């Protein structure tokens, strides 16, 4: 296989290595692609064809160029291109992933600054076998969709806190070689409020309906709150009736004592009347 390693005129791009654009809109209408420093305008142009005018590129190495964004609409990639190395750049999102060559079986995006894999459809690469994403800032992976061809997924050295997938993807993850950061990627009910928490090897994965997870999560929380309210209401009612019963028992002797006093007073009055009647005038 033939590697195309873009190193020519590298010194012209390193002036601001975090602001490099990978694009096919090059000066002089180049038929290939170029790397453009968006601040200085310095440009590196790569040519697909060899000295015989034949396109023989199978592997493309674009690592360590400080590439921050990709803009290659309608790019005609070499049909033989199978492996693309975009590692050690400054990519933060995967919004333009569908502009990369569909023929890839290996894509290396390691050591970039990607923060999320939420809602990424990797099926734009129907032949992808190996996907390397280690050493990014990926904290969440919700509802990703992978091609059936994928066999290896490397997510090591990412601060993964939430991995939420559907049942089909969970089955895929179980079947493939999956690597995650075991120290940070943990599972608990807090991050899996709308699904079943399962483990793929030592990796916690939340399996459920991601589309409605937020709604279901709030529903579950509301149910818990309502349940607690009912319990508190029951306890308050029990305390109220208990106090009422104790108060009734406390007041009963007072009533009896009051009746005895009235009866005693009546006896005294009757005795006085009899005494008066017996005393001669």
| Distance between CA atoms of residues 242 and 236, nearest Å | 10
pLDDT in tens, 165-191: 888 888 898 889 888 865 445 555 555
> How many domains in the chain?
2
Strand ranges (E), the chain: 2-5, 20-23, 33-37, 43-46, 57-61, 67-71, 83-85, 106-108, 130-132, 140-142, 152-155, 162-165, 177-180, 196-200, 203-207
pLDDT at 10 over 80: no
| One domain, residues 183 and 210 | yes
pLDDT in tens, 129-139: 999 999 999 99
Between these two residues, 55 and 137, which has the higher pLDDT value? Answer: 137
Q: Which structural domain range is residue 192 located in?
A: 2-228
Residue 123: what pLDDT? Answer: 96
| One domain, residues 224 and 255 | no
Q: Confidence band (pLDDT; 50, 70, 90) for 14?
A: very low
pLDDT at 279 over 70: no
| One domain, residues 111 and 131 | yes
Q: Confidence band (pLDDT; 50, 70, 90) for 210?
A: very low
| One domain, residues 167 and 240 | no
| One domain, residues 155 and 188 | yes
Model-wide pTM > 0.85: no
Question: For the chain, how many residues are written?
Answer: 281
| One domain, residues 217 and 238 | no
What number of helices (H) and strands (E) belong to the chain?
2, 15
Residue for token digits 């890839």? 104
């Amino acid at each position: 296989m033939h590697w195309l390693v873009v190193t020519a005129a590298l010194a012209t791009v390193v002036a601001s290595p975090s602001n490099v654009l990978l694009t096919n809109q090059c000066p002089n209408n180049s038929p290939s692609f170029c790397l453009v420093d968006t601040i200085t305008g310095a440009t590196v142009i790569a040519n697909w064809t060899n000295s015989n005018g034949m396109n023989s590129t199978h592997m493309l190495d674009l690592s360590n160029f400080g590439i921050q964004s990709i803009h290659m609409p309608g790019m005609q990639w070499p049909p033989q291109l199978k492996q693309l190395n975009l590692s050690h750049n400054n990519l933060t999102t995967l919004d333009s992933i569908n502009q990369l060559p569909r023929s890839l079986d290996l894509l290396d995006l390691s050591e970039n600054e990607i923060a999320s894999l939420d809602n990424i459809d990797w099926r734009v690469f129907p032949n992808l076998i190996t996907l390397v994403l280690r050493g990014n800032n990926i904290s969440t992976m919700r509802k990703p969709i992978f091609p059936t061809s994928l066999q290896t997924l490397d997510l090591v050295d990412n601060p993964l806190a939430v991995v939420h997938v559907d049942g089909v993807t969970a089955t895929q993850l179980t079947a493939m070689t999956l690597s995650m950061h075991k120290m940070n990627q943990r599972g608990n009910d807090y991050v899996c409020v709308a699904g079943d928490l399962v483990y793929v090897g030592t990796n916690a994965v939340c399996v459920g309906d991601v589309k409605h997870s937020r709604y279901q999560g709030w529903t579950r929380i509301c149910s818990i709150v309502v349940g607690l309210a009912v319990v508190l209401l029951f306890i308050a009612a029990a305390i109220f009736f208990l106090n009422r019963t104790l108060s009734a028992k406390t007041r009963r002797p007072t009533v009896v004592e009051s009746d005895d006093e009235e009866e005693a007073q009546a006896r005294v009055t009757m005795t006085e009347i009899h005494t008066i009647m017996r005393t001669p005038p």
